């Protein structure tokens, strides 16, 4: 495995010829039926807590936000604070060892996204039952907390509250305002990047974030490998192409503009309707896809970590299709505005990652790399793995060291 610190030009996007739409729609239902099997899931061990737990009360509709905090032995000696933001359907409890590494020098805070981990009411209730001494708990319906998620706004609300609380914790016992860094993975990186882009009008809060580490950011739609890709990728490409062009001219020639708008005006409402219907009560019980086995193979090269993933009942294994479609729309919207992103960043991605393909990160770097002198890109050449913080050694520690070095360089320049 080799890594290079360069930024490649954006690739040409190849989109599906729309003549095969009927076949694609057939594939939709085949894919849903194949992935929407009866899914039973249980937890028998307590949620993996780390650090000090800080409870933050929120509006009843969002439920409590539980922060986890670790710091060096001398809290006041930490030169900066770091907020960990996890990815889709996982939880911050997995990041205990990562938090301990960064807490050697920095105050570290983590939290669970809306509908994830202990921010998921089904999982929170299961953890409470286990804490009280009850036996194995069913968490098969944990994915239903995704019902309100037509976009990422609830996740951004949780992030906003977590960031403000992190700043308050960071400033405690300190004579000055310490810099805050965000370390965000996958969907968490998309949530964070879109949040920071929207935050440009609140300059005092935006100023506190002195850098962000973007790990395999979800700036592109997935490209499943193998036979699943043969079935799913044409639909994914068609949907993404239509969503990108929907009521949005792309500087095409007039014939291309007319064609793309006609295609989008038919495809977007149709797919939105299909995914919405598939998310209705009754239908969602067998049409919500379960994470396929191939996903674990592309998360990490560590067999030990793969075993942990298989045994981790706190990961939500199903995804409501309404949420999937909402994420696609969020990716499209962020790509329209990503040139406005101004926070200094350290971008890390794998060239062969099918979960968040490299073209999304390349496009982002192409339009933002020159916006700040401290922006840096680390590309893992010919690597297919998605969760860089969970790679096997020595790659994992090397990456953690690189991140700390980038943060320390930012701190040095801020002095």
For residue 70, whether the previous peptide bond is cis, meaning omega lies within 30 degrees of 0, is no
The CB density around residue 157, as the number of other CB atoms within 10 Å, is 17
3-state secondary structure at position 137: strand
Residue 82 and residue 406: Cα distance in Å, rounded? 13
Q: pLDDT tens for residues 173-188?
A: 787 899 999 999 999 9
For residue 391, whether the previous peptide bond is cis, meaning omega lies within 30 degrees of 0, is no
What is the model's pTM? 0.91
Quick one: pLDDT at residue 158? 95
Strands (E) located in 128-225: 137-138, 180-185, 209-215
pLDDT reading at 35 higher than 60: no
Q: Per-residue confidence at 27, pLDDT binned at 50, 70, 90?
A: low
Q: Per-residue confidence at 16, pLDDT binned at 50, 70, 90?
A: very low
The CB density around residue 409, as the number of other CB atoms within 10 Å, is 14
Q: pLDDT tens for residues 207-223?
A: 999 999 999 999 999 99
- Residue 221, CA distances (Å) to 98, 244, 257, 358 in order: 27, 12, 23, 10
Query: Which residues, at least 6 apart from 4, have a Cβ–Cβ distance to it below 8 Å?
Result: 378, 379, 381
Q: How far is CA 14 from the centre of its chain?
A: 25
Q: What are the structural domains, with CATH classification, of the chain?
A: 2-11+41-225+293-414 (3.40.50.1820)
Residue 336 and residue 333: Cα distance in Å, rounded? 5
Residue 415 and residue 408: Cα distance in Å, rounded? 11
Residue 264 and residue 246: Cα distance in Å, rounded? 5
Residues in the chain: 415
Least confident of 90-94, 359-363, 409-413: 409-413
Q: How many CA atoms lie within 13 A of 28 on its CB side?
A: 21
pLDDT reading at 201 higher than 80: no
pLDDT reading at 396 higher than 60: yes
Q: What is the mean pLDDT of residues 156-162?
A: 96
Residue 153 and residue 39: Cα distance in Å, rounded? 28
Using a pLDDT cut of 70, give the percent of the chain over it: 90
Quick one: pLDDT at residue 25? 52
pLDDT reading at 161 higher than 50: yes
- Residue 261, CA distances (Å) to 14, 240, 256 in order: 17, 13, 8
Q: Tokens 């919405």 — which residue?
A: 276
Quick one: pLDDT at residue 200? 73
What's the farthest any 2 CA atoms get from each other in the chain? 67
């Amino acid at each position: 495995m080799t890594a290079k610190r360069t930024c490649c030009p954006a690739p040409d996007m190849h989109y599906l010829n729309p003549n095969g739409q009927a076949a694609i729609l057939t594939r939709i239902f085949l894919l849903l039926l194949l992935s929407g099997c009866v899914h039973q899931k249980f937890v028998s061990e307590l949620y993996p807590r780390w650090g000090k737990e800080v409870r933050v009360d929120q509006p009843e509709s969002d439920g409590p936000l539980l922060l986890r905090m670790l710091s060096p032995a001398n809290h006041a000696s930490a030169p900066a604070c770091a907020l960990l933001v996890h990815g889709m359907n996982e939880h911050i409890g997995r990041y205990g060892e990562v938090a301990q590494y960064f807490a050697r020098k920095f105050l570290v805070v983590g939290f669970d996204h809306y509908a994830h981990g202990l921010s998921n009411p089904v999982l929170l209730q299961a953890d409470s039952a286990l804490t009280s001494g009850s036996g194995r708990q069913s968490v098969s319906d944990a994915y239903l907390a995704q019902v309100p998620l037509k976009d990422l706004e609830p996740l951004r609300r949780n992030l906003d509250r977590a960031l403000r609380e992190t700043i308050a914790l960071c400033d405690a016992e300190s004579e000055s305002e310490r810099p805050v860094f965000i370390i965000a993975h996958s969907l968490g990186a998309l949530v964070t990047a879109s949040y920071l882009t929207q935050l440009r009008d609140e300059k005092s809060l935006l100023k506190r974030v002195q850098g962000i580490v973007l790990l395999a950011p979800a700036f592109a739609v997935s490209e499943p490998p193998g036979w699943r890709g043969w079935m799913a990728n044409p639909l994914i490409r068609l949907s993404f192409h239509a969503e990108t062009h929907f009521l949005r001219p792309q500087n095409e020639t007039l014939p291309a503009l007319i064609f793309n708008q006609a295609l989008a005006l038919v495809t977007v409402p149709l797919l939105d309707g299909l995914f919405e219907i598939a998310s209705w009560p009754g239908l969602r019980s067998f049409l919500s896809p379960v994470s396929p086995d191939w996903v674990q193979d592309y998360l990490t090269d560590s067999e030990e970590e793969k075993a942990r993933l298989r045994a981790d009942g706190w990961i939500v294994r199903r995804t409501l299709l309404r949420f999937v479609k909402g994420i696609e729309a969020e990716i499209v919207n962020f790509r329209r505005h990503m040139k406005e992103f101004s926070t200094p960043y350290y971008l890390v991605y794998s060239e062969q990652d099918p979960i968040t393909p490299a073209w999304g990160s390349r496009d982002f770097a192409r339009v933002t790399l020159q916006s700040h002198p401290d922006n840096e890109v680390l590309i893992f050449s010919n690597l297919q793995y998605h969760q860089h913080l969970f790679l096997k050694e020595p790659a994992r520690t090397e990456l953690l060291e690189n991140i700390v070095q980038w943060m320390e360089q930012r701190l040095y320049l801020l002095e």
